[in-house]
Structure 1
Amino acid sequence: MPCLEICIPYASILIELPIRFAYFVFVIVFYTSLYVFRTWRRSAPFNYLVYVLTSISTPISTSLYLIHIDQSRWLHAYPLMIIIELIVLVFYTTQQRIKFSHAIGILVILLVYGLIVLLFYFLYVNGFFRMLSFYGVTFEAWYIIYDTHLMLCGVHGYNLQPDEHMYAAGNIHADLPKFLWIIIGHFVLGPVRGFIKALRHSRTNYIC
């Protein structure tokens, strides 16, 4: 929210495409370097340094996305919606009757987002369309669940200790390049690889 307060007065400059693209490239390179070279930042003071840097760069990225939608203080609803979604998820995990799966987490996030959008529809019609454009809060909250699960279950190979909470918090941002490449691999490169594989098989398969 403080980052939004700083960026809103300079919205006319920050919405320029070259600036947005240059910052996107910088963030991807920065996070990729953190993901590739991660051993050195597991201990103090480097874990605190990485946490501070990622905690600054990520809100700037979110602000650049938001000020393209609007340039008013309505944008503060975005971080507030994420906070509400995560608080609801935390309260949900306190019960043990219904297990907390990814599907359940996504349903809880969508339910909270839908109720907030519905509330704004009845209270302020113009605000409804602004809240509707904040669909990114559902994706961001789910990514936090997804990456936390991968770190705690050892899928990323971290084997985190209880005193490495600062390192884990920084990793939520540092793992973004891996998550991005997973999406690109499935939805972009996957069909291309399938098409190339089909072409290769067509050279050797005979027509009966």
Structure 2
Amino acid sequence: MYSEDDELVGDQFSAFSEKNVRLGFIRKVYGILLCQLVVTMLVMVMFMYIEPVKEYSMNNPWIWYTALAVTFVTLIVLVCCDSVRRKTPLNLIFLGLFTFCESILLGAITSHYDEVSVLLAVGITAGVCLALTLFAFQTKFDFTMCGGLLFVFLVVLIIFGIFAAIFHTKVLSVVYASLGALLFSFYLVFDTQLMLGGKHKYSLSPEEYIFAALNLYLDIINLFLMILSLVGEARN
């Protein structure tokens, strides 16, 4: 026979265990994310400061096409295949391959900007990400309920991006980058709260640490690209 006190102790122990699991999940996600960002920064530095690397990549465009293809394939596999995403070390291998190829593409893009613009964009992105992460941790508003709305805005942004690429003007570029920075800022808060769980309506399972790290990494990279575009236009 269990008394009410036994049930209360059991509930408290269950809540404590769940909280510990969630905290471990968050630490694992941010650990993986940190490794991804370090790899990306190192590759960017290679493209910015090592001339032979920059020249070789510019003279051999097959590197970009291969990196783009591998990035697309690994992203589809990680998003769509639960058996790959949740199985260690296969999930880490695919995530590492995706991160490396994405870093090559990012390095190729940043090589077309001057050093000051890139450093400014990195600093601004770091400050914005830190502020938004702290906001997501403490705000009482549940952004996890806005997933459908954010997806609609993303589709609109993609269509607007195609339009801006066809009818390219400085004004359209600035508007597109500004809207993109705003959207991916919201996505960063959304994905952070999905990871936190707790009182939020929707949350990720602790088994989905690869998916959580992938989401946050893409949010940060896309936000950086939008800010870099704004900084580059401003300096020009």
TM-score, normalization: structure 1? 0.49
Higher helix share: 2
TM-score, normalization: structure 2? 0.44
